Structure 1
Amino acid sequence: MQRLTTVETVHEDGSWLFTAEDPYGDLEEIVLVPCEDGVEAWVNRCTHEAQRFDTGRGVPMRGDQLICPRHGSLFDACNGDCDNGDAAGTTLPGVEISETHGDVFLTDDDYTFAHEGGIDDDDGPSSTSHLQL
């Protein structure tokens, strides 16, 4: 069981992103989002075209729904269901967590905590410049 963050932090910040390793050794981004009095964890991508919810600025939310930044589909933060847009009729892949005394723990046997933040956040600076000297 890996401690991730606190329920209070997720509620104050609106979401919390971390990277975990799946059973095949691949890295997966996972987001924690506020849900009623607690927190839920979802794989960080829309079910429609694998668009990331949190692209480094937090999960876009409207009330208690995650918003796909590409097509605007809305997913219920508590159960992951989508009933509109291009992702209608789908459910986000969930990740098992637990809450104890205000702390959030990763309890899903399919994932091993790698680090806070997105997959590329631990690689250091990267060059995206197209300038030539």
Structure 2
Amino acid sequence: MAGRTELTTLETVQESRSWLFTVRDRYGEAEEAILVPCEDGVEGWINRCMHEPQRLDVGRGVAMRDDEIICPRHGSMYDACSGACDNGEAAGTRLVGVDVTVEDGRVFLTDSIYQFDHEGGLEDDGEADENESDEDGDGGPSSTSHISF
């Protein structure tokens, strides 16, 4: 799976504050990944909180504040550049990285573990994920976070 695949542009990630895509690991298993702006360009992360299997981007973009990615369920905040979390339920953990490179304003997937599958999240299989209830009907997860936007 070595090599590189063009994903999007640096400008797109910076303007939208995140970019959701799907990759496959060496066993063919699909995973969602996100690109987020960082001081040196962009960083790539698996789209999952380390506290619980909660998506950070549920299809509407990543919630961010002060260059930190916010878990929509419990409010744990991850540094967008290092992936480290120092607060909330996920304190002491780090997001799983996805290697990307920026060249001439274009973002490339360069990770030897993952192969690009498609832009956007996993296909909807019609079954709700038990960790992503939609109690308020807005398409997002329920939240017990103390963080407000």
Q: TM-score, normalised by structure 2?
A: 0.80
Tell me which amino acid in the other structure corresponds to 2:38: C
Q: Select 2:51's aligned residue among 44, 48, 51.
A: 48
Instruction: Indicate yes or no: 2:84 matched with 1:81.
Output: yes
C-alpha separation between the residues in 1 aligned to 2:42 and 2:101? 9
Partner of 1:131: none
Q: Select 2:64's aligned residue among 61, 73, 76.
A: 61
C-alpha separation between the residues in 2 aligned to 1:61 and 1:22? 27
Q: For 1:75-114, what aligned pairs fall within 5 Å after superposition? A: 75-114=78-117
Which blocks of at least 5 consecutive residues in structure 1 are unaligned? 129-133
Q: What SS does the aligned partner of 1:11 have?
A: helix
Q: For 1:3-22, what aligned pairs fall within 5 Å after superposition? A: 3-22=6-25
Which blocks of at least 5 consecutive residues in structure 2 are unaligned? 129-149
Deviation per CA, 1:74-120, whole angstroms, max 9, x where unpaired? 00000000000000000000010101000000000101100000011
C-alpha separation between the residues in 1 aligned to 2:65 and 2:79? 10
Tell me which amino acid in the other structure corresponds to 1:7: L
Tell me which amino acid in the other structure corresponds to 2:119: E
C-alpha separation between the residues in 2 aligned to 1:76 and 1:68? 11
Tell me which amino acid in the other structure corresponds to 1:57: R
What is the total number of aligned residue pairs between the two structures?
Answer: 125
Percent identical pairs in the alignment equals 62
C-alpha separation between the residues in 1 aligned to 2:58 and 2:21? 12
Partner of 1:35: 38
- Runs (4+) off by over 3 Å: none
Q: TM-score, normalised by structure 1?
A: 0.90
C-alpha separation between the residues in 1 aligned to 2:120 and 2:90? 25
Tell me which amino acid in the other structure corresponds to 1:38: G
| Cα-Cα RMSD | 1.5
In the TM superposition, what is the alpha-carbon distance from 1:127 to its structure 2 partner? Answer: 9.2
Q: What SS does the aligned partner of 1:30 have?
A: strand
